[in-house]
Amino acid sequence: MKRETIPKLLEVQDLQLKYREFEKNLKNLQIEFDTFKSEKLEEIKLKEESLNDIKGQIKKLRDQQKEKEDQLVLLREKLKNEERRILVLKSPKEVMHMEKEIENLKNLISKIEDEVLNLMIEVEEKVKIEEELEKELNELKAVFEGKVKEYEKGIEEIEKEMENLSIEIENRKKEIPNNDLEEFDKLSKQKNYRAIARITNKDVCEGCKIAVPKLVLEKVKKGEIVNCPNCGRILWME
């Protein structure tokens, strides 16, 4: 590997590390997005189930109310007929019997009217719960859809950055001799995409964070291609 190639390889390495950082961020964002979707869709599902349950309760109550209202129509009609009949009865015994029957009818009608009223009150209460659940469900869906758009936009932006970086990396690689590039790529895979390590102003290898021996340091300063004796990365000093 030629010494003059190292700055270009360092540029490639920095871009690759940046690409891997974006890759990591993308993966984390996708995991976060999947978790969010899973949790919120379950929350929406439970809210929908609660709403459907209350709708079912309301329907059942209204059916009961309708049944009792129909029953009232028949009983009131029967009461009218009985009240007409009693007017033409001559026998005191029959009149007493009819009066008792009319009283029972009136009591039954009053009882069913109370039941209808209670059902109406219960329906009204359930409808309020239904309206509140619908409001909560719509809010949940609106928040969910808004957040999904945010996540999708974030993912799209990272993917675009990665695409641009990938193009830039390939363009930079075209400026580097194949032999040097092959050597760099091989070492890069072995060293977690850090084939070249800068020497810090404290004479420490940036790759393994261990001080570079003076003898090795002198060779680097002379322009020789030297690997770190500790981590094996190619050492570079600006």
Residues 12-25 have pLDDT tens digits of 999 999 999 999 99
Output the pLDDT for position 91.
87
pLDDT over 80 at 32, yes or no: yes
Output the pLDDT for position 228.
95
Distance, CA of 176 to CA of 213 (rounded, Å): 30
Distance, CA of 51 to CA of 57 (rounded, Å): 10
3-class SS shares of the chain: helix, strand, coil, % to 5 = 80, 5, 15
Percentage of the chain surpassing pLDDT 70? 100
Name the band, by pLDDT with cuts 50, 70 and 90, for residue 2. confident
pLDDT over 80 at 161, yes or no: yes
| Domains of the chain (ranges, CATH numbers) | 23-174 (1.10.287.1490)
Task: For the chain, give the number of residues.
Answer: 238
Residues 99-158 have pLDDT tens digits of 999 999 999 999 999 999 999 999 999 999 999 999 999 999 999 999 999 999 999 999
Name the band, by pLDDT with cuts 50, 70 and 90, for residue 35. very high
pLDDT over 80 at 200, yes or no: yes
pLDDT over 90 at 232, yes or no: yes
Output the pLDDT for position 86.
86
Output the pLDDT for position 214.
95
pLDDT over 80 at 209, yes or no: yes
Angle at 133 between CA 132 and CA 137, to 5 degrees: 120
For the chain, what is the total number of helices (H) and then of strands (E)? 4, 2
Output the pLDDT for position 186.
94
User: Per-residue DSSP letters for 104-125?
Assistant: HHHHHHHHHHHHHHHHHHHHHH
List, in order, residues 6 or more apart from 47 with CB less than 8 Å away. 133, 136, 137, 140
The DSSP symbol for 205 reads B
Output the pLDDT for position 48.
98
Name the band, by pLDDT with cuts 50, 70 and 90, for residue 89. confident
Output the pLDDT for position 140.
97
Mean pLDDT of 34-61: 98
Q: Burial level of 33, CB count in 10 A (0-12/13-18/19+)?
A: middle
Classify strands 234-236 and 196-198 as parallel, antiparallel or unpaired.
parallel
Q: Burial level of 9, CB count in 10 A (0-12/13-18/19+)?
A: buried
